[in-house]
Amino acid sequence: MNIYFIRHGESQFNKEGKLQGQMDPPLSDKGEETASSLARDMKETFVSSGREINAIYSSPLKRAKETADAISGATGAPVRMAPNLQEIRLGDWEGRKISNIAKTPQFIQWRKNPQSITPPGGEEIKNFQDRAVTGIKKIIEDNSQNDNIIVVTHGGVIGALISYALKEDISNSMKRVPDNLSITSMEIDGAGEWKIASDLK
Question: Could you give the residue numbers annotated as active site?
Answer: 8, 87
Say which DSSP state 9 is in. P
CA distance 83 to 86: 6
Contact 201, 30 (CB under 8 A): no
Amino acid at 76: G
CA distance 159 to 170: 9
Q: How many CB atoms lie within 10 A of CB 142?
A: 12
Contact 147, 56 (CB under 8 A): no
Task: Please state whether beta strands 2-7 and 148-153 pair in parallel, antiparallel, or not at all (unpaired).
Answer: parallel
